[in-house]
Amino acid sequence: MYTDKVMDHFMNPRNMGELENASGVGTVGNAKCGDIMRIFLDIDENQVIQDVKFKTFGCGAAVATSSMATELIKGKTVEEALKVTNKAVCDALDGLPPVKVHCSLLAEEAVHAALWDYAKKNNIVIEGLKEPVADIHEHDHGEEEE
């Protein structure tokens, strides 16, 4: 049911943990399945993501997508990180079963929430970044379709 890449990131998650003094922290949950994901970003003065960690209390696909999302945004600027969609995360994992695509949405939203926190703390505006929701189930209307 899962691709080798999903299994790999689930069994050996990259960047798991937390960051002390993170530049931005984002927490997003999905009330439907009860899963919660938290992303910590360390962003330098050039708005480049130097480090990123995640903590996920959720299903295997949520762990794998958080792991892959952290890999994809590490070393990127905040603008580039914003463009890493849940589809990009799914593609990088060679796909997810349809019932698990919403898990990747959690990863995208958690990254956005952490970027939002960073922008707020530094009084800056990241173009294209919308205020995140705490529960992705709230706007879970067909967005997981490709």
**Is 103 one of the annotated active-site residues of the chain?**
yes
Q: According to the binding rule CB under 6 A, does residue 33 interact with ligand FES?
A: yes
Neighbours of 139 (CB within 10 A): 11
Please return the burial class of 146, using the count of CB atoms within 10 Å of its CB with bins 0-12, 13-18 and 19+: exposed
Active site residue 33: yes
Q: Which of 69, 103, 107, 119 is catalytic?
A: 103
CB of 27 to ligand FES, least distance (A): 14
Of 43-51, 58-66, 83-91, 122-130, which part binds ligand FES (CB under 6 A)?
A: 58-66
Query: Using the rule CB under 6 A, is 16 a contact of ligand FES?
Result: no
For residue 64, give the nearest of 50, 54, 52 by alpha carbon: 54
Strands 24-30 and 35-43: antiparallel
CA distance linking residue 84 with residue 67, whole number of Å: 13
Instruction: Between 75 and 97, name the residue whose CB sits nearer to ligand FES.
Output: 97
Where do contacts with ligand FES occur on this chain (CB under 6 A)? 30, 33, 35, 58-59, 61-62, 100, 103, 106
Residues annotated as catalytic (active site), given as ranges = 33, 103
